Structure 1
Amino acid sequence: MPDLNRVQLMGRLTFDPELRRIPNGTAVSELRMAVNRSWQGRDGDRREEVLYIDVTVWDRQAETCCQILRKGSLIFVEGSLKMDQWDDKTTGEKRSKVRVQADRVQFLDSRRDAGGGGGYGGGEDEYGSAPPRESRRPRQESAPDRGFDNGPSRGGGYSPSNSGGRAAVAPDQDDDIPF
C-alpha cells in the first residue's frame, strides 16, 4: 500500500508570525497554531485538549502570512509532516520534533490589526480584503510538486465559509481561546 503524508488543520495562531530569510534569500516563516480537540469522557463530561503545532511556510506565502496574520488569526493549513532531528548540545541526546511543512495557508478571518477588528464573512475573500494579485497565483516553486494542487481552491473540498457568507467558526467561540 502506498504511503500518504497529508495534513489539514484549522486553528488560531499563538503569536505574530515573523519573517526571516535563509542564506539564498528564500523567505521562511515559522508559525505556531493552537488546535482544539474535544471529546466526551467515559463519565459523560466533555473534555478538551489544546495541541500546539509548529508550521513552516516558504516563499511568497511566508511573506503574505507575515503581512496579514496576527496572534489569534484563524487559519486553515494543508501540508505534510516533517521530522527535524538534532543532537542536544548540553546533554548530547538525540532530539526530534514533528512539524507541518505548509503547502497552502488559508486566512479565515480578518484579524489584521491589534485588537481584532474586521468581521466574519462578506468582503471580497475569506480574510476581509483582496490581497495583492500576485499572491493569488499558484506558486509551484514554493513546495515540491507532489501531485497536489498548491494553488487556491477551485471548488470542492474544504471551503472556509458557507453559502451564507459566514466563517466556519462562530464568533462566540473566541472567548474560549487560551491566548
Structure 2
Amino acid sequence: MASFNKVILLGYLTETPELKKTQSGVSVTSFRIGVSRKVVKDADQKTDFINIICWRERAEFVCRNFTKGNAILVCGSLQTRSWLDNDVKRYTTEVVADEV
C-alpha cells in the first residue's frame, strides 16, 4: 500500500532562527512555529507549537530573512527521531522543511 507524508503549515515564529553547522559543515536550523486552530465546541482558538528543521541553503535563507514573530509558510514531511538521554529513550516529531 502506498503512503503519503506531506505537511503544509502557516504559522508564526516563536523565536529568531539561529544558523548552525554540523561537524561536516552542513548548515542547519531548527525552530518552532505557533499554528492556530479552531476548537469546534467553542469560538476559541488553540495554538499548537510545531518543531521545524531546515537544512543547507534553506536553513541559510530562513536565518537571513525571518525573525521572531514573522509569519512563515512551511511545506515538508513529518519525521520522528529517538535518542538516549541518561538511559531513557526520548522521541520527537518534527517537520523537515522542503519549501519555505
Q: Same fold (TM over 0.5)?
A: yes
Q: SS at the partner of 1:62?
A: helix
Q: Give the SS at the match of 1:46.
A: coil
Instruction: Give runs of ≥4 in structure 1 deviating > 3 Å.
Output: none
1:55 aligns with 2:69: no
Q: Equivalent residue for 2:90?
A: 95
Of residues 86, 92, 113, the one that matches 2:83 is 86
Q: CA deviation at 1:39?
A: 2.5
Indicate the SS of the match to 1:23: coil
Alignment partners' CA distance in 2, 1:23 and 1:93: 25
**In structure 2, C-alpha distance between the alignment counterparts of 1:71 and 1:2, rounded to whole Å:** 38
Query: How many angstroms apart in 1 are the aligned matches of 2:40 and 2:99?
Result: 32
Say which structure, 1 or 2, has more relative contact order (CA 8 Å, 6+ apart). Answer: 2
Aligned pair count?
100
Percent identity over the alignment is 36
What TM-score do the two structures reach when normalised by structure 1? 0.54
**What is the TM-score with the length of structure 2 in the denominator?**
0.94
The reply on whether 1:15 has 2:15 as its aligned counterpart is yes
Unaligned regions of 5+ residues in structure 2, if any? none
Alpha-carbon RMSD: 1.0
SS of the residue corresponding to residue 40 of structure 1 reads: coil
What is the CA deviation profile of residues 107-149 of structure 1, one whole-angstrom value per residue up to 9, with x for unaligned ones? Answer: xxxxxxxxxxxxxxxxxxxxxxxxxxxxxxxxxxxxxxxxxxx
Measure the CA separation in 1 of the matches of 2:44 and 2:70.
24
Distance between the aligned counterparts of 1:11 and 1:102, measured in 2? 14
Displacement of 1:86 in angstroms is 1.0
Cα deviations by residue, 1:5-47 (Å, 9 ceiling, x for unpaired): 1110000000000000011111001121000111230xxx312
SS at match of 1:18: coil
TM-superposed CA distance for 1:88, in Å, is: 2.0
